[in-house]
Chains A and B, each alone.
Chain A
């Protein structure tokens, strides 16, 4: 992992010092280890990890000689001082490095040949570089039964642990879950959980990246590959709009592991990942993966060659229109742009829409306020969280908020649901439609703040225009205030930048029976908001062509299925909720006959006689950037390793349906919630089977009592749009005046209760 903090060598106020007889400079406050590393000198470390807080000086690996100071100093905890004279290459320092390594290895099992870390192990590497060629240790080593399941995702080999405390500090001081502890003391110290139960949480897998030895390893990756049999590719996450930078490990043709980036993107994820992103990759090889092109008619479903499937799709799209193209939230900018190009060329007049929220007029004012990046959260003295549940929906944001609060910042939250961060500061729970009250309650906090930052939830505020306007007003009236959108859809911002609206018009057109062929691109309308209406509308379309990576839903009924690569298997651009364009790079090729969506769409254009001038994703993106002002100035080169910000606002669309208005229906207002391990990806990945979450209905104790549901195991929810039946949980801490239900769980059907534009609804709750 990162190990050393980034150092800005061109910042003002550089301090001059001497290292190994070289005159060097670094900014004031820089730790010696970091300053040395920035100048190409590696002072070895194990416990030092600047992302975990201040140095703890435990491993003693980083000892150096500092002129004028008695004994050797830990370079991880010594800041550069003007004219400091430092040596990391004297005999005494070499003996110290050698000595600490010899001591670390005394009890280390040295079972490298059967250790997953072998080949990419800091302990191995540093021993090779700084360590003893030979040990004087002839005693019996410490033994533990091995390995233990620290959880269903992480294996713990206590013999290999070098007691660097990184994992414990992550748990205690970054995730703040308090689970991991060091038990016993001295040479008997061992990693354990406080309760003795599994280490569970939203971010546990980060300790695998942090561990400098093979003590904490990934269960799903266990014994899968050796480092010389893999290829690592930097990419970005496709599971939520935070857009965490990560690395994909390819082995035997598929993605076999996901890790944090060795060089974190400090403006985005800082090297952390949530467990969903880290362990969802087995979904690429799930049983329902679409591996071959399919053609379906009344008689049968046939696997065909890709040429034949594209031909068949072209035939359907070559008929008289109008056609319609529907993009899922995970479609790339390139896929969106190619769909638009089809609609302006061979399929002229086709409707192009996205399943995401698209452009909501109520949010225009908020989006126009000065925007922040994720690292600005660290520096805010006040974080106002309006709506949402970042811990479950944009998980890594949780770590930033915790960091801000640890650093002395205040958190005030307002919204319709209680969530894991509610306890970090004052929290106002408001019934749906009344978010304005919450915003007003949070208002006074602004006056005292100097660097307030508003995190607002796109989905919750899209239908609360009064709250959005109030918040925009507060932002405008407070100097130094900034805002960051908690987006609802993975690449919603990218598709909106192309000008692709929400799907209100498209579904209406389908219902009127006027659409000849519907092409879906990574879209599952019947599992999205308004599922009931979508199902009905889909029955009226002439034919469906589905570009999809997984079966189920539309892929099971489409006339033509084009097997598509997942976000881990294709090239493309996603725009994060902070409006940062970042590049997906394929970690592996898609399986079987599957192909990247951009390639399939270009092939389709060819077949339709409108071959575009470009044949690569880079060229496709370049064409999009030239044609769409919101993407102006961007290219793959400009985006590079760390991404680039969009500067222009996305065009306004005719997406007028999203807006205010009271809730439809009778009964209790519905509050939808999402659970981090409750979505389709988490349910498909066998790695996550131990932590995966289902759907439930939650009622406050008073509400359940009043409705005579206190004893009910299952309840039926009925809205004007549809109905579903789910298990009921009565939670005394859940506020009355609303019913809460989990969205996004495959097969649970809460989407049926909603309108296509996700506008507020009321539901009748009855025992089932």
Chain B
């Protein structure tokens, strides 16, 4: 099954694309040059619209539409914010872009800025990505030196600056408004919406916030045209998408594929080399951990937004976590509950208290101290969380566990009766 490299251009190119000359040699900055020479900002905006590219951070909102929400007549400056917090479990695609193809991201940010009339971009990178932050830092310096950033860049009359900001290790700072508060120097907690960032984002100014992968797509769309881009993928899922595959497959890793072309089965068995001998697929969280789990029944689902929804889940960030039949769904649910409890910012009641409660109940079940009514209790707690919270973190906490409880009920009943003791840690897998 072919992979197609649009954001992972470095895989197509022999040189070190984290060096400016190599990136330029590979055709880098063609998009920006074209835009500055021949296109009005609105033309760029229109191309984004027409390309159909959807946000790669998780929610899949069309980028062009979001960019067009920014008021044109605001007296305040507009900002581009690149969400490089990449903390969704199982998701490690942005990391590769930033490490190996940083200039395409920088070019994408500048283009987005040009489209919305902004002169300043911020990259909010997760604290643990120390090496990637250094690479970006160097790339930004080279871009300034080469005239690809700064005032009058590429001898045009357009000015653009990029500031790199390192987070401090909180999942919630990937949520766009939590990110903005953190970027402003406050405690990272989601804001009440509306107002949406497009209207009042960073420093209460119009702000376009997009994921690394989304922004890295922009130079290609501008250079090759939206119509070309839209020929890739399906009607509602255009372009390519990077899947970060982890877990019980022989060849975990990042794979960029054209949307809709490939099924989950092909991704796991053909591209990722299938499972260990004697083991087979049991479950998969296809869009990071914050989505409903898929069972073997859905292994032929095609990899695009709409097919995933038909299968009862979401494409999300495409951080595809795979588990074979050696895994325990109850323990996994406990692990996830632990994650969300630990990462809940604590601002709203149902999430703060509910994730804690879910973890406690699951812990008891795993420890063999569960009661049969605990399964209804879990459902009741989750029913009191979902749809009643301030941000999507808590809905993301409920989705995988609620679906696991529904689709793997027998496993939970077994755990209530017998517990689910820890197993021997497994040897590392993969090629």
Q: Give chain A's interface residues, CB within 8 Å of chain B.
A: 54-61, 63, 71-72, 74, 77, 95-96, 99-100, 102-104, 106-107, 136-137, 139-140, 142, 162-163, 165, 181-182, 184-189
Q: What would 27 A/B residue contacts be, using CB atoms closer than 8 Å?
A: A58-B347, A58-B348, A58-B390, A59-B349, A60-B350, A60-B388, A95-B384, A96-B384, A99-B383, A100-B349, A100-B350, A102-B384, A103-B357, A106-B357, A107-B356, A136-B377, A137-B357, A165-B347, A181-B187, A182-B187, A182-B346, A185-B170, A185-B346, A186-B342, A186-B352, A188-B346, A189-B352
Query: Quick check: B345 and A103 within 8 Å, CB to CB?
Result: no
Residues of chain A within 8 A (CB-CB) of B355 are 186-187
Q: B331-368 interface mask toward A, CB cutoff 8 Å, 1 = contact, 0 = none?
A: 00000000001111111111011111100110010000
Q: For B194, give the chain A residue with the smallest CB separation.
A: A77
With contacts A71-B387, A186-B341 taken as known, whether A61 is within 8 angstroms of B346 at the C-beta atoms is no
Residues of chain B within 8 A (CB-CB) of A102 are 384
Partner of A100, one of B170, B187, B380, B388: B388
Given A99-B388, A188-B346, 14 other A-B residues pairs in contact with their CB atoms under 8 A: A58-B348, A59-B349, A63-B388, A71-B388, A99-B383, A100-B384, A100-B388, A103-B354, A103-B384, A139-B361, A163-B347, A163-B352, A185-B344, A189-B346
Residues of chain B within 8 A (CB-CB) of A95 are 384
Residues of chain A within 8 A (CB-CB) of B389 are 60
Query: Quick check: A186 and B356 within 8 Å, CB to CB?
Result: yes
Q: Is the interface of B mostly helix, strand, loop or mixed?
A: helix
Query: Quick check: B388 and A72 within 8 Å, CB to CB?
Result: yes
Query: Quick check: B349 and A162 within 8 Å, CB to CB?
Result: yes
Q: Is the interface of A mostly helix, strand, loop or mixed?
A: loop
Query: Quick check: B390 and A57 within 8 Å, CB to CB?
Result: yes
B395 to chain A, nearest CB (A): 10
B192 in the interface (beta carbon within 8 A)? yes
With contacts A71-B387, A100-B388, A107-B356 taken as known, whether A185 is within 8 angstroms of B345 at the C-beta atoms is yes
B370 to chain A, nearest CB (A): 11
Residues of chain A within 8 A (CB-CB) of B387 are 71-72
With contacts A103-B354, A106-B353, A139-B361 taken as known, whether A186 is within 8 angstroms of B343 at the C-beta atoms is yes
Q: B261-292 interface mask toward A, CB cutoff 8 Å, 1 = contact, 0 = none?
A: 00000000000000000000000000000000
Residues of chain B within 8 A (CB-CB) of A162 are 349
CB-CB nearest 9 A-B residue pairs: A99-B384, A186-B344, A189-B346, A103-B353, A57-B192, A139-B360, A187-B356, A186-B346, A71-B387
Query: Quick check: B192 and A77 within 8 Å, CB to CB?
Result: yes
Q: B38-53 interface mask toward A, CB cutoff 8 Å, 1 = contact, 0 = none?
A: 0000000000000000
How far, in angstroms, from A608 to B390 measured CA to CA in the complex?
Answer: 73
How far, in angstroms, from A60 to B353 measured CA to CA in the complex?
Answer: 12
Partner of A187, one of B170, B192, B344, B361: B344
Residues of chain A within 8 A (CB-CB) of B349 are 58-61, 100, 103-104, 162-163
B340 to chain A, nearest CB (A): 9
A267 to chain B, nearest CB (A): 29
A189 to chain B, nearest CB (A): 4
Q: B374-398 interface mask toward A, CB cutoff 8 Å, 1 = contact, 0 = none?
A: 0001001101100111100000000
Q: Most A CB atoms within 10 A — which of B192, B346, B357?
A: B346
Residues of chain B within 8 A (CB-CB) of A56 are 192, 347
Residues of chain A within 8 A (CB-CB) of B357 are 103, 106, 137, 139
How far, in angstroms, from A35 to B179 measured CA to CA in the complex?
Answer: 33
Residues of chain A within 8 A (CB-CB) of B380 are 136
With contacts A57-B390, A136-B377, A185-B344 taken as known, whether A99 is within 8 angstroms of B192 at the C-beta atoms is no
Query: Quick check: B352 and A60 within 8 Å, CB to CB?
Result: no
Q: For A107, give the chain B residue with the smallest CB separation.
A: B353
